[in-house]
Chain A
Amino acid sequence: MTRHLLISLMLILGLASSLSAAPLGTRIVLDNDTTLLVAERPGLPMVVLSMVLKTGAAVDPQAKQGLANLTAALLTRGTKSYSAQALAEELDFLGTSLSVDAGNDATTISLTTLTKNLDRSFALLAEVILSPSFPQDEFERIRKEIEGRLHSNEEDPGWVAGKAFRQHLYPQHPYGRLISGQTETLARITPDDIKQFHATYYRPNNAIIAVAGEITQDRIGSLLASHFADWKAADLPDFSWPDPPEREAQRVNLDKEVTQANIMIGHSGIARSHPDYYAVLIMNHILGGGGFGSRLMDRIREEQGYAYSVGSYFSARKHPGPFTVALQTKNESAQQAIAETLAVIRHFRQEGATEEEVEAAKAYLVNSFPLRLISNSDVAGMLPVLEFYGLGLDYPDRYPDIIGSVTLEQVRAAAKQHLHPDQFLQVVVADLEKAGLEQTQTGVDAASGNTEPAATEEPNPAATMTE
């Protein structure tokens, strides 16, 4: 065992005892089936609340993609007692921030308020969740705004690459779609659809509410009792997920007047519940998830100078999300950079991680975990994720042991089991002539048999449920 290994192990043991403490918060299930998670953290005169609805854009009807997102956007655009503008003025006057974000698997409502304004802020939250009015003019305007942003995003080569990547990776699957929908599908959505979606999914039995900050369990309990007494549980529709498609290797080259080739390589990855999750986490950290010192960063950036950033990522969601390697390099070096990247991955898969790498990755993951739970917003963000994936509020305490028990052999096996270079989808958005590449077709239609083009979008960190 090398000196580094010894240090790493000592570091794991040392920090685990010094930073870990009691469970992150308390958990109760209310009479209306809402799960309430509370972290009492006095110190700053503020409270952060995060409400997660366990429904996201995945349930959007194929023809009405963008429904969950449009509903979320309209929630703060008028209620029974407030016009959109009156609500905006009141929130700003209180200094309260309130946002609603739809993701694939879930929708997150975030409230940050000064303690002194907690009552009034909470009343506005209840207003938004329980009594949105979905006015026609706001419906039209927000829909147009979303369409405008879709158009605007087309100038961003990274966005274009990401869209094509997921579109080709997940044809006929919710993860292949655009959360915000697209012009044609948005056009089919009616205000009644929005009202129906809200009535169906914005239900207490579909909700996790987490609070952190200068608040007590009694206080949040009485606020909920006084403002959400009429919120009633209701049966939720069944939703069956299709399996991610089997796939074979594919290359998609898109031509754009840019100075850099935007490259995305990958395939469908794993679900959060996969038993190999932690071995994959460590494996990917070594490959390209760990920033400086990772195999890809060392080779592609530090040694070759091909890219400013290069990384790999397993998006482990409720269902298997994508494994993605992304980099950008000047058009002229696109082919070499891709070849180098593939070589790094193949070599890593074949030869496996070293013991030293695995121990260093474990040390980082264990020792950095407590740093992700410092602020009130950190904690309010983490609590619902633990609930959503059934990890338990003692997860931070268990984490060192979970990571610590993963073996070198498991990490090496995870590379063989979960990296499939022979099945890679490669998307390149570049000035193809300068890159020496030929154009492939842009639409997914012919390749996948989709009746209409599907699409995806950049992951929204606020709406992506990762811990």
Chain B
Amino acid sequence: MTTMITRQQMLRFFATLVCVLVLLISFQSGHSQSIDTSGWQVTQHVLDNGLTVIILEDHRAPVATLQVWYQVGSRNERPGITGISHLLEHLMFRGTPTYGKGEFSRLIQERGGRHNAFTSADQTVYFESAAVQHLDLFLELESDRMAHVMLDEEGFLSEQKIVMEERRLRTADEPSSDLWEQVSAAAFTAHPYGWPVVGWMHDLEAVTLADVKAYRQTYYAPGNAILVIAGDVTPDSLLPRIHKTFGQVPAGPAIPQVTSVEPPQRGERRVFLKRPASLPLYIAGYHVPTFEHDESFALSIAATILGGGRSARLQRSLVEEQQLVLSANAGYDRTSIDPTLFTLSMRIAPGKTWQDAEQALSEEVDRLKTTLVTEKELERAKNLIESRFTYAQDSFFYRALQLGQYAALGDWSLILKVIPGLRAVTAEQVRQVAQKYLIDTNRTVGILEPDGTPLRESPQGGPGRRGAH
């Protein structure tokens, strides 16, 4: 458990979560804000110590999910300590003076609860789910470790090894992750999105306990966190309990802001990766704006038209008609804090070349720039996104995740703009964003050319070695 989510995984993760609560809105003035909807109710509150609290009432089942969103991820790191956000996430499970090592998991598990955490470029998120009567325990455990986690040498050395194994598992021996890492590194020259969430291996080896302690001191404070609770709860009964737990955590120092800005790209960049793999992989990443920009909705529609659903253009053209690739995807995460990449990726089919696939891909991208999408196709993309949003509401956990994601952008209610924003996109706007952003000079291309056989030659026909060892 405890995991890290790379940027492209985040894209896929949230691809199903796009969108909104279609809601009746009634704003209250003042510090606390409540939104009543048909079957939904969201309350926001800010504690004196700066902690933002968001409560979603959902009484369909007597359960609750709690998530703590620390607004720190690999984006806040610097060269030399890359991966420290994720390493700290691991160490947050090593115990406190009140709840020693192993107690945290044990207390949750014997109540049938689930817990875990993930780290992305922008955030570190801890979460628990269980029957609603156990919420007090989660409040106690999460507020306790926010203030009192014990970071010692023994735990540090152990988690350091575990995280290195995680990197080997997810990146070193995973060709596609390896290529994504290379593309990000080439696309971002000045911005921290250039390094991987899990960190570079040598940084993981060199980082010290003192680094981790300082990092926690800097970023793990109530004012840098958002508490999201979704479930069979009412704010009236919950808020006093939150005051009693999280409310007691002292406010921390001001949080240093990330000031890095990626300069405009002026010319295509290409990176080649040669390593053992079965098939070539191809990724093109284009610099694009995020949610704060109105164009983000048209970019989402463009990504869906190219790569979303069963009838997506890349699927039809490249996979089915030309049979150049085994799979083709489009990715765009509009909830990224800083400008991100719009990505097109392909796994090349056996016997085909990445050059031919690239040519076919370019033709599809060009078509988006030259020919307006039909109203029917536009409607299909919008329906697809909106239906997936409704399906995601089936899960308390995903509802909380959506709220946390938009709260991290500044205000959870931004989520209310998403479906109207997507519904308003015109065919002309889709063409415009394609013309503006999906251009060669703005892209970084990564190509994995397999080098080496998947499985080395072995003696055939001999008897297997029998016996353990």
Contact = CB atoms under 8 A, between A and B. Distances in A.
A257 B456 contact: yes
Interface string B109-153: 111111000000000000001110100000000000000000000
Contact of B166 (A76, A89, A253, A308): A308
Contact of A141 (B61, B308, B320): B320
Given A92-B309, A249-B466, A446-B461, A114 B168 contact: no
Interface in A134-157: 141, 144-145, 147-149, 151-157
Max chain A C-beta neighbours (<10 A), residue from B110, B278, B310, B460: B110
Given A45-B390, A369-B112, A440-B465, A155 B454 contact: yes
Given A44-B393, A305-B157, A360-B109, A88 B311 contact: yes
A201 interface: no
A251 B133 contact: no
A251 B469 contact: yes
Contact of A290 (B109, B131, B158): B109
Contacts of A367: 110-113, 130-131
B304 to A, nearest CB: 9
Interface of B: 1, 39, 60-63, 93, 102, 105-106, 109-114, 129-131, 133, 157-166, 168-169, 172-175, 276-279, 308-311, 315-316, 319-320, 323, 326, 347, 349-350, 376, 379-380, 383-384, 386-388, 390-391, 393-396, 450, 452, 454-456, 458-469
B278 A152 contact: yes
Interface stretch (A31-39, A93-101, A237-245, A386-394): A93-101
A133 interface: no
A88 B309 contact: yes
A162 to B, nearest CB: 14
Nearest to B467: A249
Contacts of B114: 368, 371
Given A375-B394, A446-B463, A330 B347 contact: no
B386 A18 contact: no
Given A95-B388, A257-B452, A305-B158, A440 B464 contact: yes
Contacts of A253: 465
A114 B133 CA distance: 32
Given A93-B379, A307-B165, A329-B165, A112 B311 contact: no
Given A44-B393, A155-B454, A302-B158, A19 B168 contact: no
A291 B114 CA distance: 10
A293 B326 contact: no
Given A291-B1, A374-B63, A424-B468, A91 B310 contact: yes
19 contacts: A45-B390, A88-B309, A92-B308, A92-B384, A145-B326, A147-B350, A151-B350, A157-B173, A251-B469, A252-B464, A253-B465, A257-B456, A293-B106, A308-B166, A363-B109, A364-B112, A366-B112, A374-B60, A376-B394
B152 to A, nearest CB: 14
Given A91-B310, A360-B109, A251 B467 contact: yes
A114 B394 CA distance: 12
A112 B133 CA distance: 31
Given A366-B112, A374-B63, A92 B380 contact: yes
A26 interface: no
Nearest to B173: A258
B464 A251 contact: yes
B293 to A, nearest CB: 26
A258 B62 CA distance: 46
A197 to B, nearest CB: 23
Given A145-B326, A371-B63, A256 B456 contact: yes
B455 A148 contact: no
A15 interface: yes
B466 A250 contact: yes
A360 B106 contact: yes
Contact of B162 (A145, A301, A439, A446): A301
A259 interface: yes
A292 interface: yes
B129 A371 contact: yes
Contacts of B308: 92
Contact of A342 (B106, B172, B468): B468
A370 B134 CA distance: 14
A421 B467 CA distance: 11
A81 to B, nearest CB: 17
B110 A305 contact: no
A340 B329 CA distance: 42
**5 nearest CB pairs, A to B:** A367-B112, A95-B387, A305-B161, A368-B112, A88-B310
B199 to A, nearest CB: 14
A71 interface: no
A46 B395 contact: no
A100 B163 CA distance: 37
Contacts of A112: 391
Nearest to B459: A441
A361 to B, nearest CB: 9
Contacts of B310: 76, 88, 91-92
Contacts of A375: 394-395
B457 to A, nearest CB: 8
Contacts of B277: 155
Contacts of B455: 154, 160, 254-256, 442
A92 B279 contact: no
Nearest to A362: B110
Nearest to A253: B465
Contacts of B468: 249, 251, 342, 421-422, 424, 426
A293 B323 contact: no
Contacts of A320: none
Contacts of A404: none
Nearest to B110: A363
Given A95-B383, A260-B172, A441 B467 contact: no
Interface stretch (A6-14, A52-60, A202-210, A219-227): A6-14
A89 B39 CA distance: 32
Nearest to B450: A155
A430 B465 CA distance: 16
A443 B129 CA distance: 45
Contact of B111 (A11, A144, A446): A11
A85 interface: yes
A351 interface: no
Nearest to B276: A257
Contacts of A252: 464
